[in-house]
Amino acid sequence: MKIITKPKQWGNSLGIILPKDVINVERITKETEIIVEVKRGNPVKEIFGSLKGWKINTQKFKDELRKEEAEAEKRKSRIFKFPS
C-alpha cells in the first residue's frame, strides 16, 4: 500500500505517522516489521508529468473534465416537484 506523508520532528530525529486505515488494512502491530521506501517528490507534478506522452491537448482535456463536472453538479442540484 502506498501513502504520502510528511515526517515530523521526534527529538533529534524525524518520524512518520501511519494512518489508522493503513494499520488496519495491513494488520500492522508494534512488532510488525515494515519496509519504508523513501522518495522525494511532488505527487502532483508526477501525475501531470505522466500526461506528456498523451496525444491529446492537456488543457482541452482539463476543460472537458471541468465541463463534465459542472453538468454533473447541475443534474444533482435539480429539484423534482411531485404533483400534490
Please write the tens of the pLDDT for every residue from 44-75. 666 666 666 667 777 888 888 899 888 888 77
13 has pLDDT over 80: yes
Mapped onto helix, strand or coil, the DSSP state of residue 39 is coil
pLDDT over 90 percentage in the chain: 36
Query: pTM of this prediction?
Result: 0.44
Higher pLDDT: 27 or 83? It is 27
Q: What single-letter amino acid sits at 13? A: S
Query: What is the pLDDT, as a whole number, of residue 82?
Result: 57
Output the CA angle 49-52-57, nearest 5 degrees. Answer: 120
Across the chain, the runs of DSSP E, i.e. the strands, are 8-10, 13-15
Query: Per-residue pLDDT averaged across 16-40, rounded?
Result: 90
